[in-house]
Amino acid sequence: MPAESLREKTVSPWQIHPVRIVAAKAEVPGVITYRLKFVDQNVEDAYSVSPGQFNMLYMPGYGESAISVSGYDEQNRELLQTVRVAGNVTRALSRLNVGDELGLRGPFGQGWPMKAAQGGHLVLIAGGLGFAPIRSAIEAAICHRGRYEKISILAGARSPDQLLYREQYEQWKAAQVELRLTVDRATPQWNGNVGVVPLLVDRLKISNPATATVMVCGPEVMMWYTVKSAIEQNISVERIWLSMERNMNCAIGHCGHCQFGPAFICKDGPVLRYDRIASYLKIKGL
């Protein structure tokens, strides 16, 4: 098949492709990071994903769920997807074992502006499961470490045992990435920060706010206060990006389930510039 028609066929947004679970790592109770590999090598060849995009994972008989890509292992060509058991689809997925197959279509949406952030301080901020799409930005930034003046990761969770990706922290720090963590409730073993994520932003040293870029994903209330703190640090609203979540269905802007003001989270997002959505964030229940 000519390369172009192969690409058209394999990247059709409606086409569901089988992927095999290569590994499944329990991160924290109820949250698993899967390593997924396309069964069809042609699809694997045609697939290309950017940090911050998402896939629709399909469990036959149950349905589909939008799940952010939390990483891509270039060497083994394996996708990382971190999933919290929330309802029918994710519960069915959690019952699968290594070697089992499920369906996947994607990738979808607009990811993080990694290129636009080059040359300045990159501030990556995660709350709870919001760490999943932020992790893909961390990977991409570390891969091109020299292109960013400074990289800071600020992450929070309810308690120390709820922090995701703990086994990666030393590796990130070794790549000269600043890592600051906070928890809502400390345990006797915890000697880090206690408090909400925006407090980490307040304490962050940003030498040149004009070239700093902030990328945030977490619960909406956390993102709201985090943005407030970033603005107080003199970061321009045009350099603040949020990854948004809404119930979605088609993932390509047809069904309207994920409409957020004039934007569809699935195709215009999930990553959106703060100033473009600020007025809609204020509307309760939108």
Ligand X SMILES: Cc1cc2nc3c(=O)[nH]c(=O)nc-3n(C[C@H](O)[C@H](O)[C@H](O)COP(=O)(O)OP(=O)(O)OC[C@H]3O[C@@H](n4cnc5c(N)ncnc54)[C@H](O)[C@@H]3O)c2cc1C
Q: State the residues that interact with ligand X by CB under 6 A.
A: 54, 63, 65-68, 82-84, 86-91, 129, 132, 245-248, 265, 270
CA–CA distance, 263 with 240 (Å, rounded to integer): 17
Question: Shortest gap between Cβ of 33 and ligand X (angstroms)?
Answer: 10
CB nearer to ligand X: pick between 218 and 270: 270
* Secondary structure E strands in the chain: 17-28, 31-38, 54-59, 63-73, 78-84, 101-108, 121-127, 150-157, 178-183, 193-194, 213-217, 240-243, 259-260, 263-264, 271-273
Question: Shortest gap between Cβ of 267 and ligand X (angstroms)?
Answer: 11
CB nearer to ligand X: pick between 146 and 262: 262
CB nearer to ligand X: pick between 79 and 212: 79
CB nearer to ligand X: pick between 90 and 229: 90
CB nearer to ligand X: pick between 90 and 162: 90
Question: Shortest gap between Cβ of 123 and ligand X (angstroms)?
Answer: 21
If you ran DSSP here, which 8-state letter would residue 97 be given?
-
CA–CA distance, 78 with 73 (Å, rounded to integer): 5
CA–CA distance, 149 with 172 (Å, rounded to integer): 15
CB nearer to ligand X: pick between 190 and 280: 280
CA–CA distance, 25 with 237 (Å, rounded to integer): 37
CA–CA distance, 134 with 152 (Å, rounded to integer): 12
Question: Shortest gap between Cβ of 178 and ligand X (angstroms)?
Answer: 24
Question: Shortest gap between Cβ of 45 and ligand X (angstroms)?
Answer: 25
Question: Shortest gap between Cβ of 166 and ligand X (angstroms)?
Answer: 17
> In the bound complex, which residue of the shown chain has the CB atom lying closest to ligand X?
87
Question: Shortest gap between Cβ of 226 and ligand X (angstroms)?
Answer: 18
Question: Shortest gap between Cβ of 269 and ligand X (angstroms)?
Answer: 7
CB nearer to ligand X: pick between 113 and 120: 113
CB nearer to ligand X: pick between 28 and 199: 28
For 93, phi then psi, to 5°, come to -65, -40
CA dihedral defined by 23, 26, 27, 30, rounded to 10 degrees?
A: 130
CA–CA distance, 222 with 84 (Å, rounded to integer): 19
What tokens were used for 22? 């290569």
**Residue 186: Cβ-neighbour burial (10 angstroms; 0-12, 13-18, 19+):** middle
Residue whose entry in the numeric block shows the structure tokens 């195709």 = 267
